[in-house]
Amino acid sequence: MPKQYVEDLVPNTQVNSSFVVRSRSFASFRNKPGQYLNLSLADRTGEIVGRVWDNAEALGEVLTPGAIVRVVGRVEEYQGKPQLIVVQAEACRAAEVDPSDYLAASQRDPMEMLDELDAVMAEVENPCLSALLHAFFDDSDFRTRFTRSAGAKTLHHSFVSGLLEHTLSVVRILKVVNESHPQLNRDLLITGALLHDVGKVEELATETTIEYTDTGRLLGHTVLTDRMVRERLQQVPDFPPPLADLLMHMLLSHHGQKEYGAPIVPMTAEACALHYADNLDAHVQYFSQVVAAGAKSGNRWSDYQRLFDRYIYLGDAGEQGEGPTGQE
Amino acid sequence: MPKQYVEDLVPNTQVNSSFVVRSRSFASFRNKPGQYLNLSLADRTGEIVGRVWDNAEALGEVLTPGAIVRVVGRVEEYQGKPQLIVVQAEACRAAEVDPSDYLAASQRDPMEMLDELDAVMAEVENPCLSALLHAFFDDSDFRTRFTRSAGAKTLHHSFVSGLLEHTLSVVRILKVVNESHPQLNRDLLITGALLHDVGKVEELATETTIEYTDTGRLLGHTVLTDRMVRERLQQVPDFPPPLADLLMHMLLSHHGQKEYGAPIVPMTAEACALHYADNLDAHVQYFSQVVAAGAKSGNRWSDYQRLFDRYIYLGDAGEQGEGPTGQE
Amino acid sequence: MPKQYVEDLVPNTQVNSSFVVRSRSFASFRNKPGQYLNLSLADRTGEIVGRVWDNAEALGEVLTPGAIVRVVGRVEEYQGKPQLIVVQAEACRAAEVDPSDYLAASQRDPMEMLDELDAVMAEVENPCLSALLHAFFDDSDFRTRFTRSAGAKTLHHSFVSGLLEHTLSVVRILKVVNESHPQLNRDLLITGALLHDVGKVEELATETTIEYTDTGRLLGHTVLTDRMVRERLQQVPDFPPPLADLLMHMLLSHHGQKEYGAPIVPMTAEACALHYADNLDAHVQYFSQVVAAGAKSGNRWSDYQRLFDRYIYLGDAGEQGEGPTGQE
Amino acid sequence: MPKQYVEDLVPNTQVNSSFVVRSRSFASFRNKPGQYLNLSLADRTGEIVGRVWDNAEALGEVLTPGAIVRVVGRVEEYQGKPQLIVVQAEACRAAEVDPSDYLAASQRDPMEMLDELDAVMAEVENPCLSALLHAFFDDSDFRTRFTRSAGAKTLHHSFVSGLLEHTLSVVRILKVVNESHPQLNRDLLITGALLHDVGKVEELATETTIEYTDTGRLLGHTVLTDRMVRERLQQVPDFPPPLADLLMHMLLSHHGQKEYGAPIVPMTAEACALHYADNLDAHVQYFSQVVAAGAKSGNRWSDYQRLFDRYIYLGDAGEQGEGPTGQE
Amino acid sequence: MPKQYVEDLVPNTQVNSSFVVRSRSFASFRNKPGQYLNLSLADRTGEIVGRVWDNAEALGEVLTPGAIVRVVGRVEEYQGKPQLIVVQAEACRAAEVDPSDYLAASQRDPMEMLDELDAVMAEVENPCLSALLHAFFDDSDFRTRFTRSAGAKTLHHSFVSGLLEHTLSVVRILKVVNESHPQLNRDLLITGALLHDVGKVEELATETTIEYTDTGRLLGHTVLTDRMVRERLQQVPDFPPPLADLLMHMLLSHHGQKEYGAPIVPMTAEACALHYADNLDAHVQYFSQVVAAGAKSGNRWSDYQRLFDRYIYLGDAGEQGEGPTGQE
Amino acid sequence: MPKQYVEDLVPNTQVNSSFVVRSRSFASFRNKPGQYLNLSLADRTGEIVGRVWDNAEALGEVLTPGAIVRVVGRVEEYQGKPQLIVVQAEACRAAEVDPSDYLAASQRDPMEMLDELDAVMAEVENPCLSALLHAFFDDSDFRTRFTRSAGAKTLHHSFVSGLLEHTLSVVRILKVVNESHPQLNRDLLITGALLHDVGKVEELATETTIEYTDTGRLLGHTVLTDRMVRERLQQVPDFPPPLADLLMHMLLSHHGQKEYGAPIVPMTAEACALHYADNLDAHVQYFSQVVAAGAKSGNRWSDYQRLFDRYIYLGDAGEQGEGPTGQE
């Protein structure tokens, strides 16, 4: 039976397909005993609200967050949006699912991105920095995990291969900055850009959903990056300690300000450039993502974005929506 | 008599050449009556401390800030640096000086930069935005003033044609951002980048020195930019008001946060991109400038940079210097 | 059929009257298929919760935000407060409603306020400032819109003619400040006070509800004020540019701090005075409004006021209420 | 011998008159052994720089901060300003000096201000609040100290009777606020305004100079105000505790925000009004004072005002001055 | 009938026992007329959700916040947690309840803590400070109230005798700080620690629930502490004013920063020590309390702690829970 | 020839002894050609101002910062304080000086402190944590460097063995906190306290003066601590990763807030306790140090302490000084 994708689910159709459970919560009926289930079901094409009206306790044992579950049910319309009424559910066996079906992924082809990465790596002339990069990206285990990793849990590039996509964008920006500012050290710029977020591979678990690891929460990706780079540095013979300090300084300071978790602030032009290029790409991606999501909303303004303390303008995509209640 | 440039002044030589007076202050002798003059004398190659030991009051009337003055004197060494002991001074006639000799200028050729600007302008496809840009950059008076203007009084690109150099760097960055984020409106990105700081032409007077105008201080370049663009907009027939709003929103919000003087924060992806690209180029230029200046200092760390609340690393340029007293 | 006002609706009565729809949202029944409607219905005397239990989808097409709608239904009591169960609804024709019935208005008579405004305007002696004021307030279209405009969407003076009421209060305060500080320029104080918020006429649409315009959100009222005053300034012959700069400086800086959206901070005593007088009147009005609203609540303390991060004291108005849960 | 006032001292005249010593510091000659004295000498008309070139140690014992000293010397010109070269100095006996000659005072007549205060006090109708006010202002010792006290050490109203002048300005503002907001409690507004800074009488010692007391520094005037009002409250029979709480709340919260030393923030409309009226009057006085001082400077902009993080505009008062070095 | 404690209530049992009502709110049924009641019922062993499905209005009159009420009903399971369905309720007479049954209390024995307090008090050698302490702690009314008082409403030590427990912890810390820093005044440290929060006795009402008093909200415990200590100080003959200032300075500044409500910041080593010791004990208690509460949750991370802007790590206590949604 | 100590230098005596040069700067004579030297000369008992009037350039080559130099000269009095007029200077050979003579040291005996450290280490029961501690403190090279290291460059414990003294104080505080909060993990508390600042051994060079290393500035001691502990952790067999994460979390978060350079904030009760105990000891030491230094100043208040934005009270130590100019 072929997979039915979320983006194709329309009201008044039967469903018999598998999805990943993003979240699950029980709620009680207001005027009768018992409870039902609210679900978020997803695959790589989107997310749909699910409900279990009957037999919620039993089905709830299957429908656990992160699990890929085959559900049987029916799509209904609710407030103009589809929702899936689930009547049966059973866990899928690992063998029968393709994990890449269940989490959104970069719109760029990973192989093409890896080619771009390899090409950029080849531009680095300093033999020590080059050797360090190869120690990372020629290690097939690391290469695989890096290629899969999301860029963040929710903020930006929160999809499969998001870290790789973001990393390449930062490299591109730094290369054009280097054209305007040729006195900057090009090899450090490229190396710093390629390695600045490698710790996210350990901070985040990009499985069927994107979650923090305990270690990730307790230590943070900045320190994990430091550890990972230190370890590979020791594999490069005669890496000059002052060069190592300059590189590590870029990585440790790339959040730019202590308030944003940088244990040290940028004190070289290369570190300064990395910080702003990282912010530029991440925030533009975030704004674009909000606009893309909102395009379907029928509103002229996005929901309130707590993280940025503002609404984002959607424009003519829709006229019938209700604008946000503003601040003055 | 050929101009003697500041960068060529060595101790124990006679001087008879013209310089611009950057600042002037009287000081009193400690153990005898009377006073002397402390000067900052400059030309496009640098700045030198000047002193008038005798006849300070009379010479002080000639040596006024902003004036280009022919001085006769002698270079001595003081604390390892040259200083110019002035014994005669007379104001230069406008006809006999070339103003470009007295203020540092971009290392890029202005004509080449204007060619780059024209080429970028030609890439804009939207006819209204294109017409607006031509209303600015085909106006020879504006073109002349824009080409000369500094990017800021002291912070970054504080030299002749600094505004043009910075503007082009921001365009370059936004074009590469657009490659990674093709959903952004390319014409708005380019137009916004080219116009984001036009108000600086009125905020700053880039003459023999760079000074704020009274209007510049009282109103600020963000509002001056709004006024200038509004005026030219009215010359473009049928400019769609919503497009004007989107463009003006980018310009008004490009400082990014209210704390930095933006009357409104970025609420579109294009405005977000412009803000970060502007910061990226400006701050990298500032860091580079500090490193370049410090390279001559013989220290491993720059002086304390109040604006960024940090020292900047200079590295091996010198070993004999005294490092900054740090913070903990 | 005479209008039934919200403040007179008591439980267990039939309703057949028109109200404006402030907000509308669909919700689903918890234990049966289908959905119902939550409404906020209002007129100038207050706001009441409305519900549509049956036929929600059809009636929802009529009950759109901002619309004035005749509803038939019945008032019931719910949690000690009346709520209106709507069974029929049809849109009103513009001809049959008096818009002033549907939005709260200043308790001061607009005509009396305009008289006060004209009298204040007549006190301005400087002919250029006087001409500028007349260019605004003798323009009947502007005068009408200014007279109607709210002072803000929700924060303070959020009612018809709120802008006019607030403007006059600020004038009064500045006149008494001028008595204690006679060295301030009285004409600038009065003119600045009268014009400081004129941009709100374009930032806000004060129709049957108070909403931001898209232009208002994208540009903000400070810049809109600058544009409007600039335009009228050009109608006054020989307006001295330095006087224009001083006036525009007051208007642009009246939010007082960059954090509050002022592109420039007050740098004259008159600008400083305008800023604090504006804050004084706006915040006292806000506190008074919270106390007035809370007087009916039966509590000793208001709800938590997020904007001010505090509770406001209501006192003896009621004893039986539950106090806020405090912070420590 | 009549007093020679500072404002009348012109270069090249002999001086034999008495002044108060505001500050004193020793400095060493740079190229000979020994030291000289830098002084600030003052009277109610202004301040002049003083120097003791000879016999500095001995004269330094007489020229102690706060002392009123008869000096013999000569006025010379230094950097365009007069300075007083002191050759003899002896302490004045208390009997021979009029303290009011040595510290600037309000330009308003204290008796007239006390009449205004008494008239305002008579407007208070609530008998308890009225009795409390009389307990303060009919106590001749308090009345004398309050009348003399400065409003602050350096910030605003830093002159004899400055506290009284400021207090009355705040009352005036609150009365006009009450006209626009009649629902506020007029008696609380007036009483709160009159008492809001009484603790300054103990925090500051307004003698020949204005200094903090140790108690003032260790406890602050807000708590000292609380103590003084509590003490007088106990003298008013049957003062209702809730009314006392409302009044004390106004006094304790009048700094408006915790960051400014308010142990509690305003939670009533009257407390809110007092806070903003206090700020309005204090800051306008400060700006005016800077403008007045700067008018003599020959500059278009004031020195940098650290407390407000800005320059203040002086305008046409002078053209020849050097503007501030700006920020970007 | 013996009390049934909250911690012992298990699903499917009948209840007939008394509890205190912590909060109460009405809610409406979604698809039928009428409303039900949500309750928080508590005793010293914990808190349980309560519901009244039938007869909500009548029972709601009895089930008022703060009341101790005998309820009859049945425990059901809901979302894995017990909830109490109430069918009858009647207010308890004061005589039949032991108030200590209804609010959690310190795990330390109050008598033992008072002994520790008396022993500490006996260590104070300075006779004036000793007399002041005895004026507080030998006053049986104050002693009783102090012993009962919570340390805070919700933040830390929010239970009966929490203030006493916290006070003793602060004393212990300061004594060990004094060992490392013997130059600090031991008597001031102990006295300051014992008195630093006495105002909480009047700020909070620790009855069947912990609530702010109106006076507590309007004035704050810092000023109340000042008043209480001032009053007792007057009972100690010849208390040296400078010593009083030093002690009061400690008490007034113990919040450490103005932002946290300190009218004055610590300016002595003893005041500095008190501030940090207070914070240390309070925050460790808060973290411990979150960990203890979370241990039963089956999660690895606590709920989001708004006050500290973070999640707290719970660790292995449970594996099946859903982690928080993180921030990046 | 015995060493003459700074604290014993009195005016009008000859000096022939060795000191460390803390700082050196050239200055020019104001009314004659040439320059002189300003020095700070020091030993473990204090610091004295030095001057070289003659032959400054030649002697300046010897008197370099950090050098221990034998000087010949004479003590004179200047502004009530001694200053040393240097006439001869020659560098000391390493063999002839005892480095401990030139930098202030902890008043506690290092051997006694090491005994205390060993005893505390022995209290740790967890074998892995114990092994980790022994891997540090049984390594004689580390033990030597740790014993010598200052606690900070200037802020607190800025003297030889300051790090050890501070570390032990933090341990003591945490042990007493553990008595009040027995649920905390005692072994983690002790281990965290002992290791929290080990990175300072590499961040700071505590030689004849205390200076940052380049690596220290570029990476910061928090990350250096992480690296050092990671390295020793690998020497302990079977160290449980979750325990390592909990320990490293304490170390990485001990600055408490991101603004203070913590890459991660405390999320366990033990990390919270370490943070506050560290602050408590460091700040009390800083305040005590200011009071001790000020005791000799003859003032009632310290100089302005920029880091804490306040003056510190010195009290009766002197009456004749001039108080600070306060803020309002």
Residue D90 has pLDDT above 60, yes or no: yes
- Best mutation target among C156, C165, C276, C306 (most D Cβ atoms within 10 Å) is C276
| Top-confidence residue, C324 or E161 | E161
Q: Note the maximum CA span of chain E.
A: 74
Q: Confidence band (pLDDT; 50, 70, 90) for C206?
A: confident
User: Mean pLDDT, to the nearest integer, of E30-43?
Assistant: 78
- Report CB contact under 8 Å: B264, C220: yes
**In chain C, whose CA is at the least distance from the CA of E209?**
C325
Residue C31 has pLDDT above 70, yes or no: no
Share of residues in chain E with pLDDT > 90 (%): 62
Which residues does chain F have within 8 Å of residue D218's beta carbon, measured at their own beta carbons?
A: 313
Which residues does chain D have within 8 Å of residue B35's beta carbon, measured at their own beta carbons?
A: 78-79
Cβ contact B251:B129 at 8 Å: no
How many cross-chain Cβ pairs, D to E, lie less than 8 Å apart? 71
Residue A30 has pLDDT above 60, yes or no: no
Confirm or reject contact between F1 and chain B (CB < 8 A): no
- Best mutation target among D179, D250, D284, D285 (most C Cβ atoms within 10 Å) is D284
Asked which of B51-60, B211-220, C21-30 is least confident by mean pLDDT, the reply is C21-30
Q: Map tokens 């060529």 to a residue.
A: B8
- Report CB contact under 8 Å: F154, B328: yes
Asked which of A69-78, D209-218, E247-256, E313-322 is least confident by mean pLDDT, the reply is E313-322
Residue C79 confidence (pLDDT): 63
Would you say the C-alpha torsion A237, A240, A241, A244 has a positive or negative sign? negative
- Report CB contact under 8 Å: E279, F283: no
d(CA F108, CA C70): 87
pLDDT tens-place string over residues D214-226: 999 999 999 999 9
Share of residues in chain D with pLDDT > 90 (%): 61
Which residues does chain F have within 8 Å of residue D26's beta carbon, measured at their own beta carbons?
A: 79-80
- Alpha helices (runs of H) in D181-295, residue ranges in sequence order: 186-195, 200-203, 214-219, 221-233, 241-252, 269-294
Looking at every residue in chain D, the average pLDDT score rounds to 89
Which residues does chain E have within 8 Å of residue C80's beta carbon, measured at their own beta carbons?
A: 26
Q: Confidence band (pLDDT; 50, 70, 90) for A320?
A: very low
Count Cα neighbours of F135 within 13 Å in the Cβ-side half-sphere.
19
Which residues does chain E have within 8 Å of residue D227's beta carbon, measured at their own beta carbons?
A: 226, 230
**In chain B, whose CA is at the least distance from the CA of C258?**
B259
pLDDT tens-place string over residues A163-181: 999 999 999 999 999 999 9
Confirm or reject contact between E278 and chain F (CB < 8 A): no
Residue F104 has pLDDT above 90, yes or no: no
Confirm or reject contact between B169 and chain A (CB < 8 A): yes
User: Mean pLDDT, to the nearest integer, of F288-308?
Assistant: 83
Residue B158 confidence (pLDDT): 87
**In chain B, whose CA is at the least distance from the CA of A264?**
B310
Residue E328 has pLDDT above 50, yes or no: no
Q: Confidence band (pLDDT; 50, 70, 90) for A306?
A: confident
Q: Confidence band (pLDDT; 50, 70, 90) for E76?
A: confident
Residue F79 has pLDDT above 80, yes or no: no
- Best mutation target among D202, D213, D221, D223 (most E Cβ atoms within 10 Å) is D223
Q: Confidence band (pLDDT; 50, 70, 90) for E321?
A: very low
Beta strands in A112-194 (DSSP E): none
CA angle C244, C247, C248 (to 5 degrees): 80
Residue C246 has pLDDT above 50, yes or no: yes
Residue E15 confidence (pLDDT): 94
Q: Confidence band (pLDDT; 50, 70, 90) for F317?
A: very low
DSSP 3-state assignment of E42?
A: strand
pLDDT tens-place string over residues A90-115: 999 878 888 778 888 899 999 999 99
Confirm or reject contact between E308 and chain C (CB < 8 A): no
Looking at every residue in chain F, the average pLDDT score rounds to 89
Residue C154 confidence (pLDDT): 79
Residue D324 confidence (pLDDT): 34
Residue C39 has pLDDT above 50, yes or no: yes
- Best mutation target among D149, D204, D217 (most F Cβ atoms within 10 Å) is D217
Task: Output the six-digit token pair for B161.
Answer: 């044609």
Select the residue of C266, C292, C310 nearest D265 (Cβ to Cβ).
C310
- Best mutation target among D78, D319, D328 (most B Cβ atoms within 10 Å) is D328
Distance from CA of E95 to the nearest CA of C (A): 24
Confirm or reject contact between B220 and chain C (CB < 8 A): yes
Share of residues in chain D with pLDDT > 70 (%): 92
Select the residue of B26, B153, B218 nearest D79 (Cβ to Cβ).
B26
Confirm or reject contact between C28 and chain A (CB < 8 A): yes
Confirm or reject contact between F26 and chain B (CB < 8 A): yes
In D231-250, the residues whose Cβ lies within 8 Å of chain E are: 241-242, 245-246, 248-249
Residue A263 has pLDDT above 90, yes or no: yes
**In chain D, whose CA is at the least distance from the CA of E251?**
D219
Residue D2 confidence (pLDDT): 81
- Report CB contact under 8 Å: E261, D258: yes
- Report CB contact under 8 Å: A262, F263: yes
**In chain E, whose CA is at the least distance from the CA of A36?**
E79
Residue C327 confidence (pLDDT): 29
Residue D294 has pLDDT above 90, yes or no: no
d(CA C104, CA C94): 19
Task: Give the highest mean pLDDT range of A41-45, A65-69, A302-306, C213-217.
Answer: C213-217
Cβ contact B120:B129 at 8 Å: no
In D66-125, the residues whose Cβ lies within 8 Å of chain B are: 76, 78-80
Q: Confidence band (pLDDT; 50, 70, 90) for F28?
A: low
ipTM of the complex: 0.86
Other residues' Cβ atoms within 10 Å of the Cβ of residue A40: 16
Residue type, A186: R
Least Cα distance to F77 among F56, F55, F51 occurs for F51
Share of residues in chain C with pLDDT > 70 (%): 92
Residue D318 has pLDDT above 60, yes or no: no
Which residues does chain A have within 8 Å of residue C153's beta carbon, measured at their own beta carbons?
A: 325-326, 328
Task: Output the six-digit token pair for C61.
Answer: 């097409």
Task: Output the six-digit token pair for A63.
Answer: 């429908």
Q: Is this model's pTM higher than 0.90 or not?
A: no
Torsion angle defined by CA atoms of residues D209, D215, D218 and D220, in that order, rounded to the nearest 10 degrees: -70
| Top-confidence residue, D246 or E76 | D246
In A44-63, the residues whose Cβ lies within 8 Å of chain E are: none
Confirm or reject contact between E325 and chain A (CB < 8 A): yes
Select the residue of D169, D184, D280 nearest C280 (Cβ to Cβ).
D280
Which residues does chain F have within 8 Å of residue A252's beta carbon, measured at their own beta carbons?
A: 219-220, 223
Q: Do chains B and F touch (3 or more CB pairs under 8 A)?
A: yes
Residue B283 has pLDDT above 50, yes or no: yes
Residue B324 confidence (pLDDT): 34
- Report CB contact under 8 Å: D313, B218: yes
- Report CB contact under 8 Å: C246, B214: no
Confirm or reject contact between C279 and chain D (CB < 8 A): yes
User: Mean pLDDT, to the nearest integer, of A272-276?
Assistant: 97
Least Cα distance to C193 among C222, C212, C169, C162 occurs for C169
| Top-confidence residue, C239 or C153 | C239
d(CA E177, CA F175): 12
pLDDT tens-place string over residues E94-145: 788 887 788 888 999 999 999 999 999 999 999 999 999 999 999 999 999 9
Residue E106 confidence (pLDDT): 92
User: Mean pLDDT, to the nearest integer, of A134-144?
Assistant: 97
User: Mean pLDDT, to the nearest integer, of F242-264?
Assistant: 94
Residue type, B127: P
Q: Reduced to 3 DSSP states, what percent helix, strand and coil does chain F have, rounded to the nearest 5?
A: 45, 20, 35
Residue F186 confidence (pLDDT): 97
**In chain A, whose CA is at the least distance from the CA of C24?**
A322
- Report CB contact under 8 Å: D211, F29: no
Distance from CA of B128 to the nearest CA of F (A): 46
Residue A27 CB partners (closer than 8 Å, separation 6+):
A35, A36, A37, A38, C30
Select the residue of B219, B261, B264 nearest C219 (Cβ to Cβ).
B264
- Report CB contact under 8 Å: A217, E301: yes
Residue C34 has pLDDT above 60, yes or no: yes
- The subunits that touch chain F, with at least 3 C-beta pairs less than 8 Å apart, are A, B, D, E
Select the residue of D79, D301, D322 nearest B35 (Cβ to Cβ).
D79
pLDDT tens-place string over residues D234-255: 999 999 999 999 999 999 999 9
pLDDT tens-place string over residues B181-206: 999 999 999 999 999 999 999 999 88
Q: Note the maximum CA span of chain A.
A: 74
Q: Confidence band (pLDDT; 50, 70, 90) for A247?
A: very high
Which residues does chain F have within 8 Å of residue B11's beta carbon, measured at their own beta carbons?
A: none
Distance from CA of C145 to the nearest CA of A (A): 20
pLDDT tens-place string over residues B204-255: 988 888 889 999 999 999 999 999 999 999 999 999 999 999 999 999 999 9
**Which helix (H) or strand (E) covers residue D147, if one does?**
helix D140-148
Least Cα distance to E45 among E19, E71, E79 occurs for E19
User: Mean pLDDT, to the nearest integer, of A290-298?
Assistant: 78
Confirm or reject contact between E173 and chain F (CB < 8 A): yes
Residue F248 has pLDDT above 90, yes or no: yes
Residue A201 confidence (pLDDT): 95
